[in-house]
Structure 1
Amino acid sequence: MTADDRAHLRALADPDQPGASTLRELLTALDTAVVELVHAPSGDDVVITSVALAESADLAAAGEPATSVPHLYLHVGVTNAEAVRWLDDVARRAPEHRPRAVMSKAALRSPALRTAARRAGVALVAVHPKARWDHVLPLVQRMLDRSRQQASSPDSSLLAMDTDLFGLAQIVASNARGMVSIEDAHSRVLAYSPSDESADELRTLSILGREGPRDYLRALHTWGVYDRLRDSDEVVDVPAHAELGTKRRLVVSIRRPSEDGSAAPAMLGTIWLQQGDRPFAPDAADVLRGASAIAARVISRGLNAPSTEGLLIQRLFGVRGEGVDVPSLAGALNLPLTGPAAVIGFATSATEGRHGTVADLGSTLRLHASSFRRDSVATLVGDRAYVLLPGYTSESAVAAWTRQLVEQFERRRSQLLRAAIAMPVAGLAQVAGARAEVDRVLDGTAATFPEGRVTTLAESRTAVLLGEILDLVRRHPDLHDPRLHTLLDHDALHDTTLRETVETYLTRHGDVRGVAEELRVHPNTVRYRVRRAEEILGMDLSDAADRLLLQLQLSLLRRGEDTPRT
């Protein structure tokens, strides 16, 4: 590990690191459309370096925690009574074991919650009832990552416009005279400039993580706005719409050209400029075009290179090279070095729903994992996501959570997942090996989907080992039996079904009557077809060795037929 790596580790591990965000900075970044400070007993300049979701089950355990607590809690689905009881418990803790701030959707309508927060000496922030937690949490985490990056690079302020989307949004807003929001290719807001009283409902809903008015979205399609953004670099002027209550906007696409110029530029997102109480600057279109080029670099860099913390997590899972300093990494991520844990791997099926993107999978899993286990870590590697749940010994609890998550993805997001669990994992040093184990399971059970949606190596060992054996045979053409192709050629030439009969015969262990019932033919027809197949193959299907070899060859053939063509 390099000296720079160790410096990053120390920065991540130190709760009082320079450049950490204050509560005021977080609230400014989240915007008044999303949050409102109810009260802050120590002022809004308290330092925030860590955040965690907390559901009812997370707050149920009373007592003083043995380790440090996150500085900021997001109360998700927590009732007023549960929040008050938890804050009363917090008030009895030592100061170093108290959070510094809590965000809650009930803060404005619950006097008891405000009173309990004052007793505990914890800042209370009200979150808009329509805000989505899976939108708020990534924004907070992005701000904390931004602060860490600025702290690790003293000259980063000189490059802020080229390294940070929030800084870019503010610069564009100032120079183009409007309110800016930067969205990804799926219309999710990545960053925005502060709003003022002239912000329309569309901007507010976008910042809250909600979809804009359907009539307006239909109008954008009717006007051809999305087609023009997809097909060109031009700045599109979207007029105000009095009936829909939307104000004039300028919008430009964020595009990344292919490296060799052979393919159409990839659409990375859009930059929207809403007009406020004053006209746009005369050169607003030029400002947007310049911002588009910068945003393309920033987003591309983000897609290609994870944050410092993300890089460390990937090293933990054995992705970014070997020789990881596990004790230092454990301190940086505030994870126990030893002790039981669980590693879970998730893979998408070939079926893609409306939200069926790999990026969605990674961000949503992080959200759910943080809710289930505050100290969980997650990462995305290729088209798979991995979650580490420290401190777990109950296989049934982990399996139940994983199954529930897989079902939620299918029910709510139209996305089919497979999951593999490795546990118990003895400690952080074994996480990379556990990831390799779940990869074996995911690779070996792909052909049996949708059966075994959630499984382990122990439960799927036969399928996994057989799949790996077939892969070995596939990679060695000299192990492919040409006699099988003779049978296939006969079927194709004479329009017969000898292969199907033989496969059914082997599956039913030579039960002629069972084969006849399944194929809906006379038993004598089955006997004739089996004898004819034996003649063509030059095999004796009463011989165990011939049966085993033929079953392997047929399995290899099916495996190739089931592989999606690209």
Structure 2
Amino acid sequence: MIGQSHPSDQTIGTGRPAVSSRKRAVAKAGREAESSETITLRELLAALDTSVVELIEAPAGDSVAISSVALVDSSDLSVEVESPSPDLYLHVGVRKAEAVRWFEEVALRAPDHRPRAVMSKSAASSTALQSAARSAGVALVAVHPKARWDHVFPLIQRMLDRSRQQYRLGDPELLAVDTDLFGLAQAIAQNAGGMVSIEDAQARVLAYSASDEAADELRTLSILGRIGPRDYLKAMQEWGVYDRLRESDEVVDVPAHDELGTKRRLVVSIRQTVEDGSAAPRLLGSIWVQQGYAPFTDNAADVLRGASAIAARIISRSLNAPSTEGVLIQRLFGARGGGVDAPSVASALNLPDSGSAAVVGFAVTAGEPEPPSEIVTSVGSMISLHASALRRDSVSTIIGNRAYVLFPRYKSANIIATWTRQLVEQLEQKRLILLRAAIAMPVSGLGQVAGARTEVDRVLDGTAATYPEGRVTTLAESRTAVLLGEILDLVGGNSELRDPRLDALVEYDDKHASNLRESAEAYLAEHGDVRNAAAVLQVHPNTLRYRIRRVEEIVGVNLQDASDRLLIEIQLALLRRPAGQNRPTLR
């Protein structure tokens, strides 16, 4: 959902989207935007386009600085916020009455603990909500009812991350500069004419230029994150537009369609070419330009071809290389070689380098040992959103197939535990994603975060077989399961510690379609009580006695002997493990 970095090695980030913006926010003395290096609410809304947002209330004006964003739902509004609020809140599914009550509570906070702006789909239709926002001194922005939040949020994040490079109309070196996608979209619009949308390979809009009254319905729908009209998509297939984009770098001229109400467009593919020619170019996305009132410029095709090369570079970089902050965060958690200088990390990420911290790890409970990468990415994104709502200085990342969050200098262990349980339950109820979570706290400073992550991984590894029990737990609460799991790892990883006599029991059951192994497990689980074990198996006690004697004969052990019982229980536990179960690679 968020970003384009590789899902197995992805940094979700901090409460603020980028190191540079974090530093700027710390350095800035006031809350007004006084520098071209700080994005204002006015600039953000202009970039998002009037098709998506409309400013309803601005008690402090629209020049307030926005450098952090959090997506929250009704349950998040009731969570105690331990640190200054994010600058911008996106109210997702929050009812009008709930939002009004929340604004009333916000009005009682100190100024530094209030958000600067809130985006809501209810803003335009509720005078009570508008009045409450005005009383709280918070800007209120209406979001189009058809806009998709999972589309709007990444756009806002990219805007907060973007460079502050300003482009001049007619600059001959315009497309030679390595910019971001939003800047590139604006540059194309200025030099080719029309209105620009840059999409990824799945036709999701990554960036776009400003719209005007000439924008057709197709453009509006794409900006809102909606799929275009079915008849138009069918026409595109019939015209062979998509095939040409997949197969070539040519600029395709898509004619206007009066019946469908669509304007003329130029489109070019964004492709990553393999230098040695060993593989076909990889389709990364496409650039679309809708014609407005004025015709395209004479060199529009050349502009698009140059822009395609720049877009390929930008998208490839985001796919293959995490940011400097991303690498630093992953090293903080002990990945990428680990080893960090705590004071330097604290300065770079604007984090306290002392005081008790908490580390929370999340694992997806799926049928496969390795859940699909898109699920991991989606879960990591949602976790990051909720974490930043609780604490704006939280740090989140994905390493392997797990997501991790650092909460620096937390005030209450109960708040962290409650937040984690609520998040696991919410994702299960709303998104049908089953999670397990482990918490390590207190963590005494940033230098201990990597060790805390190791502890979290131990718990997640050791409690996988106990799901759904212990869905949110700690090492102290799950030490038996964790230590037993690690003992089984050691035994299972050393062939010399495997007892070959158990193979004879498995072979006997397979050959005779018997269940001696199940009988032995029930007998041992009931501590040698034949009647209780027989009741579990629903057989006569004498039948079970006969089976236990056969087990002892086949394996060559005495189940009345404590040492034999302990050994057989360990070996049977190994046999109960799913075939091919492996611990995830973490470093």
Find the counterpart in structure 2 of residue 127 from structure 1: 143
Deviation readout 1:242-296 (Å, 9 max, x if unpaired): 6655555555554557899777766544444444445666776676565444433
The structure 2 residue matched to 1:350, chosen from 366, 372, 388, is 366
1:456 correspondence with 2:469: no
CA 1:69/1:544 → structure 2, altered by over 3 Å: closer, same or farther? closer
Q: Cα offset for 1:430?
A: 3.0
1:81 correspondence with 2:97: no
Deviation readout 1:510-563 (Å, 9 max, x if unpaired): 333444444444433333332222222221122111121122122223325262
1:488 correspondence with 2:501: no
Q: Cα offset for 1:148?
A: 7.6
Find the counterpart in structure 1 of residue 27 from structure 2: 14
Find the counterpart in structure 2 of residue 140 from structure 1: 156
Find the counterpart in structure 2 of residue 368 from structure 1: 386
Find the counterpart in structure 1 of residue 215 from structure 2: 199
CA 1:408/1:181 → structure 2, altered by over 3 Å: closer, same or farther? farther
The structure 2 residue matched to 1:472, chosen from 466, 469, 490, is 490
1:435 correspondence with 2:453: yes
CA distance in 2, matches of 1:326, 1:565: 29
Contact 2:22 2:350 in 1 (8 A): no
Deviation readout 1:59-81 (Å, 9 max, x if unpaired): 8899xx99766554555637563
Letter in 2 for 1:423: M
Deviation readout 1:302-339 (Å, 9 max, x if unpaired): 23333344344334323345453434544554444444
How much is the aligned-residue C-alpha RMSD, in angstroms? 4.4
Specify the SS of the correspondent of 1:147. Answer: coil
CA 1:284/1:508 → structure 2, altered by over 3 Å: closer, same or farther? farther
CA distance in 2, matches of 1:66, 1:503: 49
CA 1:136/1:500 → structure 2, altered by over 3 Å: closer, same or farther? same
Contact 2:21 2:161 in 1 (8 A): no
CA 1:194/1:9 → structure 2, altered by over 3 Å: closer, same or farther? closer
Letter in 2 for 1:497: N
CA distance in 2, matches of 1:219, 1:517: 68
The structure 2 residue matched to 1:500, chosen from 497, 518, 524, is 518
Letter in 2 for 1:398: I
CA 1:97/1:89 → structure 2, altered by over 3 Å: closer, same or farther? same
Specify the SS of the correspondent of 2:436. Answer: strand
CA distance in 2, matches of 1:393, 1:83: 22
Q: Cα offset for 1:365?
A: 1.5
Letter in 2 for 1:524: N
Q: Cα offset for 1:463?
A: 1.6
Find the counterpart in structure 2 of residue 183 from structure 1: 199
Structure 1 gaps, min length 5: 151-156
Q: Cα offset for 1:345?
A: 0.9
CA distance in 1, matches of 2:247, 2:523: 56
Specify the SS of the correspondent of 2:579. Answer: helix
Paired residues for 1:259-278 under 5 Å: 268-277=284-293
Q: After the TM superposition, which of the residue ranges 279-288 and 293-302 deviates more from structure 2? A: 279-288
CA 1:37/1:8 → structure 2, altered by over 3 Å: closer, same or farther? closer
CA distance in 2, matches of 1:54, 1:413: 15
Of all paired residues, the percent bearing the same amino acid is: 66
Q: After the TM superposition, which of the residue ranges 435-444 and 491-500 deviates more from structure 2? A: 491-500
CA distance in 2, matches of 1:66, 1:357: 29
Specify the SS of the correspondent of 2:577. Answer: helix
Structure 2 gaps, min length 5: 1-17, 30-34, 167-172
CA 1:142/1:244 → structure 2, altered by over 3 Å: closer, same or farther? same
Q: Matched residue pairs, number?
A: 551
The structure 2 residue matched to 1:547, chosen from 548, 565, 571, is 565
CA 1:107/1:301 → structure 2, altered by over 3 Å: closer, same or farther? same
CA distance in 1, matches of 2:274, 2:102: 51
Q: Cα offset for 1:440?
A: 1.1
CA 1:491/1:115 → structure 2, altered by over 3 Å: closer, same or farther? closer
Q: Cα offset for 1:418?
A: 1.8
Contact 1:34 1:127 in 2 (8 A): yes
CA 1:382/1:321 → structure 2, altered by over 3 Å: closer, same or farther? same
CA distance in 1, matches of 2:583, 2:362: 22
CA 1:245/1:465 → structure 2, altered by over 3 Å: closer, same or farther? farther
CA distance in 1, matches of 2:463, 2:120: 42
| TM-score when normalising by structure 1 | 0.79
CA 1:220/1:505 → structure 2, altered by over 3 Å: closer, same or farther? farther
Contact 1:252 1:270 in 2 (8 A): yes
Deviation readout 1:337-391 (Å, 9 max, x if unpaired): 4444432111123359999522212222121222233333322222211122345
Contact 2:193 2:291 in 1 (8 A): yes
Find the counterpart in structure 2 of residue 528 from structure 1: 546
Q: Cα offset for 1:490?
A: 3.1
Letter in 2 for 1:15: K
CA distance in 1, matches of 2:521, 2:250: 60
Letter in 1 for 2:28: P
Find the counterpart in structure 1 of residue 32 from structure 2: none
Specify the SS of the correspondent of 1:180. Answer: strand
Q: After the TM superposition, which of the residue ranges 552-561 and 10-19 deviates more from structure 2? A: 10-19
Find the counterpart in structure 1 of residue 185 from structure 2: 169
Ranked by relative contact order (alpha carbons within 8 Å, sequence separation 6 or more), the top structure is 2
| TM-score when normalising by structure 2 | 0.77
Letter in 1 for 2:330: Q
CA distance in 2, matches of 1:260, 1:443: 42
Find the counterpart in structure 1 of residue 54 from structure 2: 36
Specify the SS of the correspondent of 1:21. Answer: coil
Q: Cα offset for 1:42?
A: 6.9
Letter in 2 for 1:303: L
Find the counterpart in structure 1 of residue 43 from structure 2: 25
Contact 1:351 1:416 in 2 (8 A): no
Specify the SS of the correspondent of 1:357. Answer: helix
Specify the SS of the correspondent of 2:564. Answer: helix
